[in-house]
Structure formats: structure tokens, C-alpha cells
Amino acid sequence: MTYPLSNSLEIIKNLRDQLNIAVVYAGDPDRQGTVVNRSFNPRCWKSYRQVAMDISDALHRCGFTNIFLLEENRHFSSNLEKYKIDLVWINSAGVQGYDSACHAAAILESLGIPYIGHTPLNAALMDQKYLFKTFLNGIGLATAPSILWHPEMSCKVTNLPGFNQIFPQSELPVVVKPVCGRASNHIHIAYRHEDIHQLAVKVYEQTRNSILIEQYLSGEEYCVAVMGTMYSANDPLLRQLQVINEGPFCFAHFERQLDGHPIFVSMDKQPVNNDRVRILDFSTEADTIRELNELAIKVYKSLNLNCLVRLDVRRDCSGQLNILEANPKPDLKYPHKDVSSLIAMGLAEQSVQYDDMIFSLVANMIEKSQISRADYFEKLLHNGLVA
């Protein structure tokens, strides 16, 4: 169900100072009391607490008054009930276990609490690179040729069926990386066939998950973000929702500066700033921007998204753009001195404020509510919080 714009405005206007909103970050699985039993997280863990604080501050500036910072941990469900949480902003990629990026959304779906974030299936699909590449092939979008390996296949990577067809000797180098991961961690380049299996084993020992072997693309690397309609958050009385850009709204058109490296250096090792990316020029690179937008919009519409996603894209030797992956939880860090995020930098290039994005993601979630969520907000609006 899609809400009429007027209904979304009424809901936000009447509920924003009464809704209890939780901004959720990932609890530390190594800290006592976070989990019941410590297991393993194949995805490189990060708390994202600082970004959750940035989001919380922005929500306050947008007029939402009851904001709670909550950990995703063993007490997550009970804390949602304890603090009478009406709406959750998922800023966590999980605590531990497999497919952790979808755990919070799955819990919220089960509890019936609406949230800002991707559905469990979409979050898991975009975080699992091989399945996402299979999806891309299915909707006719180009992605680097790849193959999946796991030790349980009981053969060397180079003995996998079809390997020589996908990666002939002339097509080196290849990329060996985790099938699920973040920030370019544990990614290696194999320049010789005899190195591929050794590197795959090394990555498996670090992640204990399937390994993606992917054709290395030698062209330029870009990124683009896409979300729903962008509204202005500058009207404190909410007389109307002023549209800045109709959705799907594409922004953050950057070329990543590789500086001689075969892949983009992890943000864990080198923070993102203006030295690491180049903003595409709308006057001279309009064709590239149009291509990036077409890719982003097709992914956004095909998955029926209503939250933010960032695509990482590279050109192959023929000049065609190939989608490498989609980041279902791109960094939403508020820009600070010398450190920012690709999302915040992209907003600034479009003359859009950080608070506009935060407000818009709330509005987009309400506008594109599923029937159960629509009923939920109607109940709050007419029978619950509003006198």
C-alpha cells in the first residue's frame, strides 16, 4: 500500500513529537551479556554506534523528540517493549552469525514494529554478493563473471566445473574475496592461476564462509546512491512536504581514486575524504552519470526498495559498466572535519542537507508502507498517541 502524500504529512506532523523511535546499532559480541552463546560472524563486525548518534541528532533537529539509542543484542526485543518503541531505524549490520545483515529486520517483521531499512530478504540478498550477482544476471544487468567456492566442494578452486571457461589463462588477474563482507576487507588479487586456491583458503580461514572468485575489471570504478523522493526538512511547522527531487533520487556520483591500487583501499585503513574520490562533472560526464542512474534505478525498482542503497560499479576492458555489488547499509556518517562519507559528500554536491535525507527516509517509509504498517500508523494516529 502507498500512502497519499497528505496522509504521510498528517502522520509525521501529529506523531513526530510523540513517536518513540529507536536508532539501532550493533552490540559487541565479545562483550559479556551481548549474546547467549558466542558464535562467529563471517562479516567483519562493526558497531556503527557513532553513525547511529549522527542519525539520532538529525532526527532531533527534524522535530522528532523521543529518540532512543539501542543495541542489537540478546535484549533487543525486550528493550523495544520496555521503551514502547513505535518505529526503528536499523543502523546495524548484525551482531554475529550468518546473514547477520538481515537479523534486525527479521525480528522487527516478526514483532510487527515498522522500521527504516531493507526487508530481511533484500538485506540478505544485497549483502550476499554471489546471490546478488545472480539476481543482476536475471534482470539483464552486467556484472563481473564469477564463481563460488567452499571447502565442502572437496576440490581446488581451479578444478571447479566451468572454471576454465570463466577464467581462461589469458583473463588474469582475478579477485578473491568473501561472499559477504564490508569495507573491502579480506580481498586479494591473484595474478597467477596457481595462487587462486591458496588465496581462497586464506580468505576462508578468516571468514569461514563461501569465497567469491571474480573476474578483475581494469576500468574506472564508480559509485552511485539511490533512494526514494527527497524532501526538504526546513519547514518546522510541516505545512507541506516540499519535494527537492522526485524519487528514485540518484546522487553520490563519484569515481573512486585507486592511486595505483587494484582495488579501493578499505575505509577501515584510510577514511573517506575528497582526496579519495572524484566528483563526476555533469557538464562533461553526463553519459556516465546517465548510465549510473539507469543501473541504480533498475535495481531500486526491481527489488521494490524504499530505503537507501549504494552501488559500486566498474568498467570492463570494452568500456561497459558492470555492477560489482550493492551496499544495503552504506555509511551515513555526518560530515566532520577531514572525515565524511560518500553519502554525505554526494548530498553536498547536490546542495541537499544531511537532515533532508534523514527526514526523507522516514517520510518514504511511511509513504510506501505495507498494509500492516499502514494499519499500524492509522492506529497510532487515531486511537493511540494523538489526543
Quick: pLDDT tens for 204-227.
Answer: 999 999 999 999 999 999 999 999
CATH architecture classification, 5-118: 3-Layer(aba) Sandwich (3.40)
Q: Which three cell numbers stand for residue 222?
A: 564508480
Mean pLDDT computed over 119-145: 97
Locate the domains of the chain by residue range.
Answer: 5-118, 145-215, 221-362
Cα-based angle 358, 22, 344 (whole degrees, multiple of 5): 25
More confidently predicted of 286 and 340: 286
More confidently predicted of 15 and 207: 207
Pick the CATH number of 145-215 from 3.30.1490.20, 3.30.200.210, 3.40.50.10490, 3.40.50.10070: 3.30.1490.20
Q: What are phi and psi of 341, to 5 degrees?
A: -135, 155
Q: What is the pLDDT of residue 17?
A: 86
Mean pLDDT computed over 78-103: 97
Mean pLDDT over the full length of the chain:
90
Model's pTM, two decimal places? Answer: 0.93
Query: Is the pLDDT score of 42 beyond 70?
Result: yes
- CATH code of the domain made up of 221-362: 3.30.470.20
